[in-house]
Amino acid sequence: MPSDGPRAGSASATTAEGLPTLRLDHALDAGVGDPAHGPLRRAEHTALIDQWLRTQWREAGAPPRGAALAAVGSVGRRDPGPASDLDLVLLLDPELAGSESASGLASALWYPVWDSGTSLDHSVRTSAQCEQVAAEDLRTAVSLLDLRPVAGEERLVADAATRVRRAWRTGARTRIEELGELVEDRTGRYGVLAHSTEPNLKSDRGGLRDVTLIRAIAESWLADHDHVVVDRAADVLLEVRDALQLVTGRASTRLSRADQDAVAGLCGYGQADDLLAALAEASRAVGWQLHRSLAAARSAAARGGRATYGAGAMRRPALQRLDHGVIVQAGEISVDLEDPSPLRDLAAVRHATTTGLPLTGATLARLASGRCPRLRPAQRDMLVDALSGEHLAEVYEALDVHGAVARLVPGWQSIRNRPQRSPVHRYTVDRHQVETVLEAQKLLGTVDRPDLLLVTALLHDLGKTPEAEDHSLVGAPLAHRAATELGFDAADAEVIAALVREHLTLAELATGRDHADPATVDALLNAVDHDPSRLDLLRALTEADARAAGPAAWTTWRAELVEHLAAQARDTLTGVVRPPREMLAPQRSAQVTVLDAVRSTSGCAVLYPAPGEDAPITEICMGAPDGPGVFAALARVLVRLRFQVRSAVVATVDGVAVTTWWVTGRAGDLPHPTTVRTAMERELARREDPAARVLETGPQAPMRRSEDTPVVALLPSAPGRPTPLQINARNRPSLLADIAETITGHRLLVSGAHVMTLGRRAVDVLYLTDLRGRPLDEETAARVAEAVAEAAA
């Protein structure tokens, strides 16, 4: 243990076993979240760790010559966290390596660290062995670049560090592609920090490991980076890591939801979303700098690049001049500043999105400077062309990291890096809009105004800020203003604003309302002002928005519902007359078969239509004579047989309750239809017995407060039609059965239903009547809604 402990008020203390560790009260005094104090605090912590290790070195009886203790990892970089592990290297002269004394020295050094409970990564090497492993193993080479002396003969550490850097620089030209593959592999295994609601501060793309790689590329001398930007971003990531480890008392770098409020408070952020926004800002800066460093290193290492030798190595790269002052040279896009074309800057952006060539750093910096005036029609058209480019996402990241997008699009700054708490979303709000544009590109042939579709996709979530209760309503005037600034006339800006206001309407009606109810189609037609062109735009925007959110938001079932309702509305506008109720194609043949079976036997029927063995979602069609409690009985069957319901449609046809369910699992792994039919018959026979209606389900994970309260609402309907009741609640195996049992207890019938599971939420719409098939009066409807809310909770 060190002879002199930490000074009073320092950011570190000493554990009972002697290894220095940060204390929460001292860390607060030192200013967690204050960039002016964070590096000083970590440097002081490093000095105390070094002091402790030197004491262990002396007590281990280390020889005066021929041995040295070096640190790598966070201690080697002088930025350890409160619970960081130790990465140590025992360096030995060749004549001492492998001896019993060397083995004894290593044991005497490692055991005190293990006894303290600190995780230790250790190795014993000579300088030549360090050089060899750096030449052979990429990850080890990157780690050894941080080699720093702690105790013993510094000559050995200096020699090893020199050899490692020589090996790194010698082999960097041939290993740059391997480095790029390492980055992509980690992205696939961990994800992107900026878009994660539970980010890994170390391993996610844009995290602390990427900071280390950026600095390693600089050590190769192939490419440098913006040191101020990277250092500032690293400080943000390190501050949050320190606070997280202080809050949890563990070395974890995964910022879970449960810890975000405490970490945000410790770092001085108002709320968890502000913390995630700051992390996204920092990680995107790191991600961009890594991307630029890799690109520059590849360019330098390419044949004829400045890192190669031979014919053509010193030849000036060819310069290509394009229209509107755009210049391409050395695989990068810049502009001729003497060209007066008003289209020059946007033409450069368009060329980048369509070719994938990067904009030069100087061009990006200039695009982000100054105020952007309202676009002229020709500039607007150039912007629309840029939005249609397949490389839009990469160009957006480059522009936005430099602040250029917020300068161009009014209102963009308020959504930059804002996290989305919905489990169906994969991206931050701003990046989600860009992904929506990319999805809209695939649908341009389905609309007559593709320019409006692309721009609306870019603007549709401008109102999604923490303060907004309904981001669609908030976003409509923001989109109108933005569209005007982007060069659209008043009529087009009004269409864009209307689409933003209604961009959720089609999906909500399609998945939550009865398509056979005329009020459903009327609501959709009112949303698009009875305009066929606007209907097509809303249909395409709905799909693009959902696909950009993620797989859970655009399932096959949801796509069919949206297309079916949009087709009904389109037919109404064109005067096509269809039957009052048209079943969706995947259900029609199965429902007919089930209907015939129930009518002929007066019993139950079950069918798995087209059960593809490899399909992860299986369709089940169930039928039974309708009556009070039938829907509840069918729901209980699914719970007892442990089906996981994804969605469902319930209908009553000529006195027969026909229910189509979509459940998780392959048909071959699910209970046989005969087993399901037997269970249905047993459940229906016992539906009047209260004891038989009790369900036994396993314990559920605790819910957060925001998930604990269900939302139950009565939806409008046409006169004489069943009363629609919408339930939005945290899903559980027995939820639908509990709700159905409550409805049965009020002596009501379920004449139809739409059931949907989205992430952890269940969004169900049940169409209710009394026993005579009449809609509910206001008093009964209010009473049932209250009871259903209690059952859902």
pLDDT single digits (tens) 568-612: 999 888 876 544 333 344 456 777 888 889 988 888 999 887 655
Residue 707: what pLDDT? 45
Angle between helices 227-248 and 208-219 (to 10 degrees): 150
Residue 224 has pLDDT above 80, yes or no: yes
Instruction: Quote the DSSP letter at residue 375.
Output: P
Alpha carbon distance 459, 476 (integer Å) = 9
Which token pair is 651?
Answer: 């209908």
The alpha helices in 514-584, defined as continuous H runs, are: 518-527, 532-549, 556-574
29-34, long-range: CB < 8 A, 24+ apart? 32/239, 32/242, 32/243, 32/246, 32/266, 32/267, 32/268, 33/239, 33/243, 33/266, 33/267, 33/268, 33/269, 34/268
Residue 6 has pLDDT above 60, yes or no: no
Range with the poorest average pLDDT among 40-44, 302-306, 341-345, 625-629: 302-306
Residue 20: what pLDDT? 59
Q: Which of the listed CATH numbers 1.10.3210, 1.10.10, 3.30.2010, 1.20.5 matches domain 420-582?
A: 1.10.3210
Domains 12-171 and 420-582 are alike in CATH topology: no
Count CA atoms within 13 Å of residue 712 on its CB side: 19
Residue 290: what pLDDT? 92
Scanning the structure block, which residue is given the tokens 């469902």? 648
Range with the poorest average pLDDT among 30-44, 234-248, 733-747: 30-44
Q: What is the pLDDT of residues 696-722, one digit of tens each?
A: 555 444 444 444 578 888 877 778 888
Residue 31 has pLDDT above 50, yes or no: no
Q: Domain 12-171's class?
A: alpha beta
724 with 739: CB under 8 angstroms? no
Residue 64 has pLDDT above 60, yes or no: yes
Range with the poorest average pLDDT among 22-31, 104-113, 290-299, 613-622: 22-31
Report the DSSP beta bridge partners of residue 766. 725, 753
Q: What is the mean pLDDT of residues 452-466?
A: 94
DSSP for 14-52, written as a single string: E-TTS-EEE-HHHHHHHTTT-TTTHHHHHHHHHHHHHHH
239 with 188: CB under 8 angstroms? no
Q: What is the mean pLDDT of residues 780-793?
A: 89
Would you list the domain boundaries of the chain? 12-171, 191-301, 320-372+391-408, 420-582, 591-696+706-792
Say which residue, 35 or 406, is predicted with more confidence: 406
Residue 233: what pLDDT? 94
pTM of the model: 0.69
Alpha carbon distance 376, 751 (integer Å) = 56
Residue 702: what pLDDT? 45
Residue 744: what pLDDT? 87
Which token pair is 108?
Answer: 């005497």
Say which residue, 659 or 526, is predicted with more confidence: 526
Beta strands in 626-741, from DSSP E residues, in sequence order = 645-653, 656-664, 711-714, 723-730
Q: What is the mean pLDDT of residues 454-477?
A: 92
Alpha carbon distance 509, 525 (integer Å) = 11
User: What percent of the chain clears pLDDT 70, i.e. is strictly above it?
Assistant: 88
Residue 14: what pLDDT? 41
Give the model's confidence band at 660: pLDDT under 50 very low, under 70 low, under 90 confident, else very high.
Answer: confident
Q: Which of the listed CATH numbers 1.20.120.330, 3.30.413.10, 3.30.70.1250, 1.10.287.1260 matches domain 191-301?
A: 1.20.120.330
Residue 471: what pLDDT? 92
**10 Å Cβ neighbour count for 596?**
13
Alpha carbon distance 257, 254 (integer Å) = 10
Residue type, 195: H
Residue 331: what pLDDT? 81
